[in-house]
Chains A and B, each alone.
Chain A
């Protein structure tokens, strides 16, 4: 079973601050990495699906990078807003069948 880790476990930032967090995963037999945002009282929603080493994807103020050789991905949020408060999950895709999720990073953006 793959071991996917995320750090930090939680963080609090002020509105307008930029922030980033890390997902680490086994680099051997890499297939794909997913990022999801999980807001309270809602279901997780996909942010990015990343497959190639060096991939960089962006959606609005959120972006992510991928390093498959060393086994990590960074998620960046520029100019955090209160509506960005959520738990951010990464998941390793095992050849399109099962997924292993990290424990998540809980972000709180204070107004």
Chain B
């Protein structure tokens, strides 16, 4: 069976510090991978998605970046955090097959507070 891991679960970081959130998927190969953020009182905002190793698409310009160094590993980074980066970050994956839409499976999330 497939599982998705995210860490850390919670993080408190000062403004201007770097960030690295990691997401790994087990039990599947060549998944599409996604990073979402939910800011306080708002819905899910897609930040990045990846259809393969080294392939990253950015949905929203910001001071965050993403990388996919391995097939089932997705990393969200920042060189200098802003207060506005606070929120709940979710990683998700889907199966892929042309012409079909598959449900997304979400990780447990990371609660980031920038102080």
Q: A residues near B, CB below 8 A?
A: 1, 31-32, 34, 36, 43-46, 49, 51, 89, 91, 93, 96-104
Interface size on B, residues (CB 8 A): 27
Q: Which residue of B lies closest to A4 (CB)?
A: B43
B108 touches A43 (CB 8 A): yes
Q: Beyond A43-B107, A43-B108, A97-B49, is A49–B102 a contact (Cβ under 8 Å)?
A: yes
Q: B residues near A, CB below 8 A?
A: 32, 34, 36, 42-46, 49, 51, 57, 59, 90, 94, 96-98, 100-109
**Residue numbers in B under 8 Å from A96 (CB-CB):** 32, 94, 96-98, 100-102
Q: Which residue of B lies closest to A35 (CB)?
A: B103
Among A31, A36, A45, the residue within 8 A (CB) of B101 is A31
B43 touches A104 (CB 8 A): yes
Q: Beyond A32-B101, A49-B103, A97-B57, is A103–B46 a contact (Cβ under 8 Å)?
A: no
- 7 smallest CB-CB distances across A and B, nearest first, come from A32-B101, A46-B103, A103-B43, A43-B106, A101-B44, A93-B101, A44-B106
Q: Can you name 15 extra interface pairs (CB under 8 A) apart from A32-B101, A96-B101, A103-B43? A: A34-B103, A36-B104, A43-B90, A43-B109, A44-B104, A46-B104, A49-B101, A91-B104, A96-B32, A96-B100, A97-B57, A98-B46, A98-B59, A101-B43, A102-B43
